[in-house]
């Protein structure tokens, strides 16, 4: 967190959120209706609405004449073009952006390329330029911007910490540029949260998500909450050991799943077999073209992932397993071996209902998840305005 608001600012934020939350729940309302539903005084409410109108968060319009006597009342409505929450994913080679309006709908997304060698400061500059470009093109106002969620690669220890206390430099830069607080989390975990909020695991509160791409990452949702871990390291599925006597991995462990089934490992296996695929995109294309050697390698890799997931399923008992990332999107080619291995190894006699499905969301999943993080985790948003927890 940066710039903690003082008590008076906080109170005004609570009042604002109360008004915006009421409009989100009900649609346009007259001032009298808002007074009744929020319990705010007329004086307080009129001041808040004047400020929200000035900042572009809400608009006013006359209601249609109803046939009743007297002037129709003025209705207050959410402004669809007002950005309230920004989600960013600073991925290895690309910055992804999603913007949610005051109705908490994702109204814009965008991406910008970034060098793999770019440092945090360069990535933050790219993100700032991307935000400015997208809101300019779409006519989105930032007068009601409330927070930024930021997805980062690797271990993210603290989802929100005060400025100057070792926060990520990209988070610092964004907080300074836009004058709002910034919450950060690991981007594979955020993709899991996005799938459970808008995607393939919507309304599923116990979820195991796997991002199968160049590497293998994961994100777990338990009882509707993202599992972060004691040190921000939860979800490192790719570093579960398949073979405790295997070769040493860059993580220091041995026989890690990622080294036997990650996209990079598959590319190396293709090269060793003389199969010409230049990169992950070509590998995925070859799999879609059902090139036999490629399909065999991917099927074997999916079986290994299934073997590790069987252990995860036994321990966490999720309702659904979601395969994301470029390789997770390959449909039955990868889903079937994963399902088969889980069915064979994870308490086959228990007959629990478990789905294994591909992810719904695309490359912007983590940026959207950063918005979901703000909706779910932000302690400044009062409880009664948060989305209801997903039913099991």
CB of 307 to a second copy, least distance (A): 6
Cβ atoms of residues 235 and 186 within 8 Å: yes
| CA separation, residue 31 to residues 81, 103, 218, 350 (Å) | 21, 18, 46, 56
Q: What are the structure tokens assigned to 352, written together?
A: 């629990």
**213 or 312: whose CB is closer to a second copy?**
312
Q: List the beta strands (DSSP E) in 54-124.
A: 58-62, 74-78, 83-90, 94-101, 106-113
Q: What are the structure tokens assigned to 134, written together?
A: 């997208």
CB of 315 to a second copy, least distance (A): 6
**24 or 225: whose CB is closer to a second copy?**
225
CB of 196 to a second copy, least distance (A): 12
CB of 256 to a second copy, least distance (A): 9
What dihedral angle (degrees, nearest 10) is formed by the CA atoms of 350, 352, 356, 362?
-140
Instruction: Indicate the helix (H) or strand (E) that contains 194.
Output: helix 187-197
**123 or 228: whose CB is closer to a second copy?**
228
CB of 219 to a second copy, least distance (A): 10
CB of 70 to a second copy, least distance (A): 40
Report the SS3 class of residue 364: coil
**39 or 244: whose CB is closer to a second copy?**
244
**96 or 239: whose CB is closer to a second copy?**
239
CB of 20 to a second copy, least distance (A): 24
Cβ atoms of residues 284 and 261 within 8 Å: no
**72 or 232: whose CB is closer to a second copy?**
232
Which residues lie near a second copy (CB under 8 A)? 155, 204-206, 218, 220, 222-223, 225, 227-237, 239-241, 244, 250-254, 307-308, 310-312, 314-319, 341, 344-350, 352-354, 392
**176 or 300: whose CB is closer to a second copy?**
300
Cβ atoms of residues 318 and 283 within 8 Å: no
Helix 292-316 and helix 263-272, axial crossing angle in degrees, nearest 10: 150
> Among positive and negative, which fits the CA dihedral 331, 332, 338, 343?
positive
Give the closest residue to 169 by CA, choosing from 110, 122, 109, 106. Answer: 122
């Amino acid at each position: 967190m940066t710039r903690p608001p003082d008590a008076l600012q906080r109170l005004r934020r609570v009042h604002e959120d109360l008004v915006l939350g009421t409009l989100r729940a009900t649609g346009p309302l007259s001032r009298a209706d808002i007074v009744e539903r929020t319990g705010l005084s007329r004086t307080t409410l009129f001041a808040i609405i004047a400020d929200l109108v000035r900042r572009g968060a809400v608009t006013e319009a006359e209601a249609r004449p109803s046939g009743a006597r007297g002037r129709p009342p003025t209705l207050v409505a959410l402004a669809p073009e007002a950005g309230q929450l920004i989600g960013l994913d600073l991925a290895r080679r690309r910055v992804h952006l999603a913007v949610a309006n005051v109705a908490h709908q994702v109204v814009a997304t965008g991406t910008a390329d970034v060098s793999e060698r770019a440092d945090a400061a360069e990535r933050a500059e790219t993100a700032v330029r991307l935000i400015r470009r997208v809101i300019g093109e779409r006519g989105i106002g930032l007068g009601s911007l409330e927070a930024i969620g930021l997805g980062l690669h690797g271990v993210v220890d603290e989802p929100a910490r005060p400025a100057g206390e070792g926060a990520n430099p990209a988070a610092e830069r964004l907080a300074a540029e836009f004058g709002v607080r910034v919450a950060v989390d690991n981007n594979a975990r955020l993709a899991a949260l996005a799938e459970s909020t808008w995607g393939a695991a919507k309304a599923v509160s116990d979820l195991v998500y796997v991002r199968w791409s160049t590497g293998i990452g994961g994100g777990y949702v338990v009882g509707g909450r993202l599992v972060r871990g004691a040190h921000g390291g939860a979800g490192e599925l790719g570093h579960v050991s398949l073979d405790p006597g295997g070769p040493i991995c860059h993580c220091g462990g041995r026989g890690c799943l990622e080294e036997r089934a990650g996209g990079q490992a598959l590319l190396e296996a293709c090269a060793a077999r003389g199969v010409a695929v230049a990169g992950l995109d070509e590998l995925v294309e070859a799999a879609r073209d059902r090139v036999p050697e490629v399909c065999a390698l991917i099927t074997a890799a999916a079986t290994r992932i299934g073997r590790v997931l069987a252990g995860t399923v036994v321990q966490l008992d999720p309702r659904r397993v979601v395969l994301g990332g470029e390789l997770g999107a390959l449909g039955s080619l990868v889903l079937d071996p994963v399902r088969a291995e889980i069915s064979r190894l994870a308490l086959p006699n228990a007959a629990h209902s478990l789905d294994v499905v591909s992810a719904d969301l695309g490359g912007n999943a983590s940026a959207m998840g950063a918005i979901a993080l703000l909706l779910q985790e932000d302690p400044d948003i009062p409880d009664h305005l948060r989305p209801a927890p997903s039913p099991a």
